């Protein structure tokens, strides 16, 4: 169904306002920057809490006498929770809204992470890490979706990638902080801090976090509520009594949620997004969870091993540049190239163990490339799906992809059990980057059009 565009207007009842056109025509103002800041903090805490277990793993081995292969369950528990939280929260987000899911998820992972600092044994810690993961898994996709729905088209990928940089920065900050906190206060202090800050943040979210304007329109909320939210983006909305959005890539009467994600038009792209994100997290968690231990095994002191490992997630700041390119060129091709280069750089980590300076350089380079690619995936998914399925689409990619993190953790555990060399482990892990590259090429061939570039416009209105 093709519907002519109606320019956004402030002329009042006679002219319905195109919500996205108004956002596109307005500057990215203080209200949107506040939303960005809150979502960025959520993602930072997600990265911090997710990576924390890898940084405290050597202390668990020393204090509780846990064999290294036996660490796989506790290292992977949060990842199981992340997958469950994302898969469940996506459809709930498309049904109940982005705001309530974000508030609930931040409370869950804050309480559970704080509780995990009181664990008495590996079993209790594994359970608490799972619950922490459920909250984390629900928070990330809803932060991405909410932010994307307040962004102008011209800079959506850049802003989402900038926000998603919070994840590797949080993980890297956790590494540097853990290197200082663990010798001085013990490993429990890292988890206690990772739980306290989200609980404080939830107070700010409750007071200031808005609902997605596009969601309000799709769900036909009263015009008064839509106008109040949109007027904080632009005063041109103050006189309007009717609002609408035009969705490219959707059809009138099409199903929402998982029905849209798995529809004939989107299923191939969905599966390729899942596979790509899965393989990216194989690399990320195989590296972030095991690199401190593997570097210690090849002769580095524990503190130095932790600091070098922290360089890997720090490389995610490169995603900002990738987002700029995605807003101008084909995102599938750009990210596929990043994954191909990731495969090369991860392989080189295994060849540099005898030279600390070279090891630091290749770990950082691998982190830049890998995290640039991985941090760009939520923006690619948000662009691919229309509003009625965007929450589910982004969440299911993140959720199903989390099993790649589980696979990466168990992969390295099995390789160490088989006494595979340091270089051999990273050679195996590098293969995942090549698979991710191929998956995005397949997505591009099968779905050359996206929500941003598709030809079909379906109009959804609220009055």
**Higher pLDDT residue, 339 or 405?**
339
pLDDT for the residue 8: 36
Would residue 6 count as lying in a domain? no
Q: Residue 412 is part of a domain; what is its CATH number?
A: 1.20.1250.20
Cα–Cα distance measured from residue 288 to residue 384, given in angstroms and rounded to the nearest whole number? 29
The residues, any chain, with a CB within 8 Å of residue 372's CB and separated by 6 or more, are: 315, 316, 318, 319, 321, 322, 338
Q: Please name the residues in contact with 369: beta carbons below 8 A apart, sequence gap of 6 or more.
A: 315, 318, 338, 341, 342, 345
Position 10 confidence tier, pLDDT thresholds 50, 70, 90: very low
Q: Is position 357 within any domain?
A: yes
Across residues 115-120, what is the average pLDDT? 90
User: Which band of pLDDT confidence, cut at 50, 70 and 90, is reported for residue 458?
Assistant: low
Tell whether the model's pLDDT for residue 453 goes beyond 80: no
Q: What is the average per-residue pLDDT within 279-283? A: 91
Query: Percentage of residues in the chain with pLDDT exceeding 90?
Result: 19
Name which of 70, 79, 48 is nearest 190 in CA terms.
48
What are the structure tokens assigned to 401, written together? 């992809």
Lowest mean pLDDT segment, chosen from 69-78, 117-126, 249-258, 344-353: 249-258
The residue among 323 and 184 whose pLDDT is bigger is 184
Q: What is the mean pLDDT of residues 144-155?
A: 86
Is 308 or 269 the better-scoring residue by pLDDT?
269
Q: Tell me, rounded to whole angstroms, the distance of Cα 286 from its chain centroid.
A: 17
pLDDT at 460 (0 to 100): 54
For residue 1, the model assigns a pLDDT of 37
Q: With 80 as the cut, is the pLDDT of residue 313 above it?
A: no
- Quickly state the pLDDT bin for 247 (edges 50, 70, 90): low
Report yes or no on 1 lying in a domain: no
In tens, the pLDDT along 325-384 reads: 777 878 889 899 999 999 999 999 888 877 778 888 888 888 888 888 888 888 888 888
DSSP 279-325: HHHHHHHHHHHHHHHHHHHTT--HHHHHHHHHHHHHGGGGHHHHHHH
Do the Cβ atoms of 140 and 391 come closer than 8 Å?
A: no
pLDDT reported for residue 34:
94
pLDDT at 285: 80
**In terms of pTM, does the model score above 0.95?**
no
Tell me the residue length of the chain.
463
- Tell me what the mean pLDDT of segment 94-103 comes to: 87
**pLDDT tens per residue across span 189-235:** 989 998 999 999 999 999 998 888 888 888 888 888 888 888 888 88
pLDDT bracket for residue 318 (50, 70, 90): low
Spatial neighbors of 181 by CB under 8 A, at least 6 apart, are: 189, 190, 193
Of 422, 429, 432, nearest to 351 (Cα)?
422
Domain that holds residue 259: 17-462
CA-based nearest residue to 382, from 106, 207, 158? 158
**pLDDT confidence bin for 455, thresholds 50/70/90:** very low
**What is each CA distance from 290 to 116, 206, 212, in whole angstroms?**
20, 37, 38
Q: How far apart are CA 285 and CA 281, in angstroms?
A: 6
The pair phi, psi for residue 18, each rounded to 5°, is -80, 110
Paired sense of beta strands 243-248 and 17-18, if any: parallel
Residue 83 lies in a domain: yes
User: Of residues 57 and 143, which shows the higher confidence score?
Assistant: 143
Q: What is the mean pLDDT of the chain?
A: 82
> DSSP H helical segments within 97-212, as ranges?
98-116, 122-148, 156-164, 166-185, 188-208
Closest CA to 422 of 352, 364, 356, 358: 352
Residue 343 lies in a domain: yes
The tokens describing 257, both together, are 């949620």
* Run of H or E residues at 245: strand 243-248
pLDDT value of residue 79: 76
Q: For residue 5, is it within any domain?
A: no
Domain-embedded: residue 8: no
Higher pLDDT, 57 or 2: 57
**237 confidence band (pLDDT: 50, 70, 90):** confident
Mean pLDDT value of segment 87-96: 83
Q: Is the pLDDT of residue 18 over 80?
A: yes
Q: Report yes or no on 10 lying in a domain.
A: no
pLDDT value of residue 314? 66
Distance CA(77)–CA(81), nearest Å, equals 6
Can you give the pLDDT at residue 7? Answer: 38
pLDDT > 60? residue 253: no
| Band (249; pLDDT cuts 50, 70, 90) | low
3-state helix, strand, coil in the chain (%, to 5): 75, 5, 20
**Total structural domains within the chain:** 1
Given a cut of 50, whether residue 61 has pLDDT beyond it is yes
SS3 459: strand
């Amino acid at each position: 169904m093709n519907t002519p565009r109606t320019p956004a207007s402030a002329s009042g009842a006679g002219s319905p306002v195109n919500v996205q056109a108004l956002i596109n025509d307005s500057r990215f103002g203080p209200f949107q920057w506040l939303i960005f800041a809150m979502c960025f903090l959520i993602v930072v805490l997600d990265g911090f809490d997710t990576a924390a277990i890898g940084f405290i793993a050597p202390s668990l081995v020393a204090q509780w006498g846990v064999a290294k292969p036996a660490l796989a369950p506790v290292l992977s528990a949060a990842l199981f929770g992340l997958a469950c939280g994302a898969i469940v929260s996506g459809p709930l987000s498309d049904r109940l809204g982005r705001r309530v899911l974000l508030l609930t998820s931040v409370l869950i992972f804050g309480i559970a992470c704080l509780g995990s600092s009181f664990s008495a044994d590996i079993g209790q810690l594994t359970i608490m890490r799972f619950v922490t993961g459920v909250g984390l898994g629900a928070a990330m996709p809803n932060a991405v979706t909410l932010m994307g729905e307040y962004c102008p088209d011209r800079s959506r990928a850049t802003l989402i990638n900038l926000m998603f940089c919070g994840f590797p920065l949080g993980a890297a900050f956790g590494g540097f902080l853990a290197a200082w906190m663990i010798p001085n206060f013990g490993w429990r202090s890292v988890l206690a801090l990772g739980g306290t800050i989200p609980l404080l943040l939830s107070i700010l979210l409750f007071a200031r976090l808005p609902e997605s304007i596009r969601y309000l329109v799709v769900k036909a909320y009263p015009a008064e509520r839509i106008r109040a939210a949109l007027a904080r983006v632009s005063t041109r909305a103050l006189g309007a009594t009717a609002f609408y959005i035009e969705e490219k890539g959707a059809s009138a009467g099409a199903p929402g949620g998982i029905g849209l994600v798995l529809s004939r038009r989107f299923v191939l792209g969905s599966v390729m997004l899942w596979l790509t994100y899965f393989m990216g997290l194989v690399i990320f968690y195989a590296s972030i969870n095991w690199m401190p231990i593997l570097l210690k095994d090849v002769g580095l002191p524990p503190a130095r091993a932790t600091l070098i490992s922290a360089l890997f997630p720090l490389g995610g700041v490169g995603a900002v540049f990738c987002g700029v390119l995605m807003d101008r060129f084909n995102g599938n091709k750009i990210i596929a190239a990043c994954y191909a280069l990731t495969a090369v750089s991860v392989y080189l980590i295994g060849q540099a163990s005898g030279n600390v300076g070279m090891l630091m350089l290749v770990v950082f380079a691998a982190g830049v490339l890998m995290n640039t690619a991985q941090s760009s995936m939520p923006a690619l998914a948000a662009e691919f799906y229309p509003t009625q399925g965007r929450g589910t689409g982004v969440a299911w990619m993140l959720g199903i992809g989390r099993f790649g993190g589980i696979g990466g953790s168990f992969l390295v555990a099995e390789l160490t059990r088989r006494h595979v060399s340091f270089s051999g482990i990273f050679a195996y892990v590098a293969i995942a980057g090549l698979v991710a590259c191929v998956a995005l090429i397949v997505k591009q061939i099968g779905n050359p059009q996206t929500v941003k570039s598709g030809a079909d416009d379906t109009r959804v209105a609220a009055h």
